[in-house]
Structure 1
Amino acid sequence: MNTEGDKPLKVAVLGCGVVGSQVVRLLGEQSGDLAARVGAPVEIAGVAVRRLDAPRDVDVPAGLLTTDALGLVTRGDIDVVVEVIGGIEPARSLILAALENGASVVTANKALLAEDGPTLYEAAEKAGRDLYYEAAVAGAIPIVRPLRESLAGDKVTRVLGIVNGTTNFILDKMDTQGSGFEEALEEAQALGYAEADPTADVEGFDAAAKAAILASLAFHSRVTAADVHREGISDVTSGDVRSATDMGCVVKLLAIAELNATESGEEAVSVRVHPAMIPRSHPLASVREAYNAVFVESEAAGQLMFYGPGAGGAPTASAVLGDLVSVARNHRQGTRGVGESAYADRAVLPMGETRTRYHVAIDVDDRAGVLAAVATAFATHDVSIQTVRQEGRGDDAQLVVVSHEATDAQLSATVEELRGMDTVREVTSVMRVEGTDE
C-alpha cells in the first residue's frame, strides 16, 4: 500500500557520459509523464561525475553535480540509484553501498553483471530492494524483461543473438560493399560506432558479457563471462565473406546460448561468441548496420525475435528509464520485482563438448588422391561431410568442406590433422556454420 502520497522519489545518477547525459535529459523533459506513470514526482537528487568542469551533452545544474559518488549513494533520502559509469570498480562498491543504504539500483553495467552478478543479486535480496538491468544487454531492445518475466512460464531452449553493433556494422560493410576488415573498422570509427581502441568489441568481450547475462536468465543458472567461449572478428577475411555468399550465407558475430543433453542425460548450458555463417533466409541475416537482434527459441512460444538499436545514448537511456519507472512503482508500493532465478543450477559445457558445424577452406596439391585423404581425415575423427567443392586448378586449387554437426573437439582435431598433411599447403579459413537444417 502506498503510504507516501505524492512524496517525490529521489534519484541519484552515477555518470554523465554518453548514456548518463541522456538519462538526465529525459528525466527533465519527461518529468510530467514519468510522474503520472509512477504516481509521484521523480526528481534528480544528484549526478556523480569524475570532473565538475568536463564538457557535457546536457546542461546539469551545478548544484546537482558532485565528485563524491559514495557520499551521494549513501544519502538517507536517495530512493533509486542509476549506475551508468561502467566497469567493475568503483561501480560494484557503489552499487553495494546503495543497496545497503536502502536504495534500489538500475544499472547498464554488463561487464559487472557478467563477472559478479550473484554478489549484486544477493545484496539486493538481503536489502529487500530491486536490481534492474534492461540496458545492460542490447540497448533499447527489451530482452531482459521478456526472459525474466514474459517467458517465466515457458522453457527456453536457445538464444541466438547479434548483440554488438560495432561488429555487425563492420561485417555488414564487408558483405554489402566488399570492404576489408580494416577499411570497415575505420568507417565504423569515423561514424562513432567504434571506439579508438575497438578491442572490447571486435575481439568479442562485449558480446561475451551479454551472452553470459542472457544465458543466466534463459536457463536459470549462474553463468559468468569466464564461462563463455569467445572469438572475435579480427581474423574474418574478405575470402570468408565471399565463401559465405557462395553458400547463400552471411557472416555475423553471434552470441549463442543453448541447452544441451549430456551423456548422463542431464541438461547443461553451452555459451559461446564467435563469427559464424548463417543462411540469408534466417531472420538474423537481415540485421544491418549497427543494429542488434536476439532470436529466442522456447518449447511453448516457439521462435521469437527482438530487434532494434543496440547501443547509443538515447536508446540505452530509454531502457534505463523503463527500469526506473518499474523500480519507482515498486518502491511506492513497498514491493520488489523479480530477483535472481538460478534454481536450475545447470553446469556449463566446455566448448569442446558443444556441437556445431564447420566450414573449412583448404589449399591443396591438385593431384589424385587429395580429396580421398581429406575425407579420411574427417572420418578418422567421426565427422561427417555435408558438402565439398573444389575451386581453381593447379597451384591455386582449394577445397571447401562443410561438415555435418559434431562436437567442437572433433572438428578442431580434424582441422589440426589437415594442417599436418603433406598434401595440404594451408588451412586458409575455419568458420562455424549456424542456423541451417541438417
Structure 2
Amino acid sequence: MGQSTANTAFVVFVAANLDSVNAELHNTKAQLNKAYDTATYFRQVSQNGHRHLKAALSNVEAAVKKTNKLLVLSKRSKDATAAAAQILAKQILQQVQRTTSALEAAAVDAMDGMAAANRIAGMKEVVAELETTTIQNQNVRTAANVADSALLKIQPAITVSQHGACLTGVDSRPALVAGNERGTNGKLEWSFTAIGAKAAGTASGQPLTICCSTQADNTPIALENCGTSTTTLGIQGGKVFTTTKLTVQRATNGDNTEYNELAANDKIPSSKTLNPELKLFRKLEAAGAAIEALSMDSNATTLAQAEQLKDVIAKALDGEKGSYSKTETKTKVDAILKELFGAKADNVKTTIEKDLKELQPPKSAVGGNGEKKLETINDPKELADAQIYYTVTGYIVDQEKKKKSLTTPSCPTKTDKSEEPKKQQTNVKAHHVETLQG
C-alpha cells in the first residue's frame, strides 16, 4: 500500500504533579521584599499561567491539523492506504475530543486564577504608590493667626512614580532579586506587603503631631524647638502609612494543599480582601496540574499498534465477543494490521508519512499555483476544500465504474467463446516451443 504515517507526537503535558506545576508557574527564589516585588511576581505568575494554557491549546490545534491532513489523504487514496489514514485520523480525533473537554473545564479555573493573580498584582502596585503618602510639615503660626488666612493646614502629599507604579522605564520593571528558596520541605510560601495607619507621635515635635513652639511666626518647624509653649503652633508631618508583611503558604503535596487563611487584621488589603483571591489563585495551580496530566500522541507507529485499536478490530472481525487475546482472532487482526500498515510498525513512517509530505492537492482544490504540499497547508478552509475535492472526485469515479459495470455483459459472447480455443491452441504452441528451446 502507499503508506505513510506522521511520525510526530503531540504531547501536551505529562507526569502531572504539583512540584512540576509550581516550577511552571512560580519562581520560588524571587525575594518579595517590597510591594512592587510582589506585584511583579504575581504578574509573572499570571503570564506563566497564560503560556501554560496557550501551549496546551497550541498542541490541540496541531493535532487537529494533523487529523485533517490524514482525512485529506484518506479521501485521495484508495483501499488500504485510505483505511489506514482514516484509522489514524480517528485515533487522534478521539484524543482531541477527550483533551478538549478536559481543557474546557481547566481553562475556566485557569482564567479565574490568572484574573486573581492580576488583581493581587494591582493591589500591590497601589500599595507601592500609597506607601509614599505623607503629611507635610507646616511652619509655626502665632496662636492669634491660626484662624485667619495663615491658618495651619493638614496637607497630605504623594509621590507619583515617573513611569507608573513599580516601573523604572516604559514597560520596564526592576528584575526580581534571587535568593534562598521561599518555603522548603514541601511548602510554597510568599509574602504580601500591606499598609496600615501610622500611629501619631506621643509628644510635641514627633511625626504627625502639633508643634508648640516659642519661635517667631512663620518659622519652619525644627524638632528641637517644639515643646509645651502655646505661643506659636506648627504641624510636624511624616509618613501616613506603615508597611507590614503578611505571609501565606501551602503544602505542595498531601490531602490539603490550600493556602492558609490570613487572620483578621486592620491592614490594606485586608484578610477579607485577600483570602477570596487566594482561593481563586489556587484554582490556577490546580488547573495547571490538570492540564499537565493531559497527553496526546499522534505518532503513527505507536497508534498503528495501540492495544485499543487491536481490540476494536477484533470486535469488527468476530463480533462482540471478539478479543485480541484469542489466538484465532489475534491471527486475523495481525493480518489486517499488516495489510493496513505494513509488516513492521516502522513501515508506517515510510508510507503515510511520505504521502503526507509529497501529496500536492490540485490548484482547483486549494488555490495557488498547484505546488502547495499537504504538509505545508494549515488553513482550515483549504484542508476542508481538499477533503471535499477528493471526496467528490472519488465519488464521480466510483459512479463511472458502476455505470461501466452495468453496461458490460457478465456472460461471454459468441465471439469470446469462439476465440477461447484459439487462445488455448496458442498457449499450447508457446509451451511446446519453450520446451524444445529448454
TM over 0.5: no
Bigger relative contact order (CA 8 A; separation at least 6): 2
Which one has the largest radius of gyration? Answer: 2
Q: Which TM-score band (shorter chain)?
A: under 0.3
Which structure shows the higher strand fraction?
1
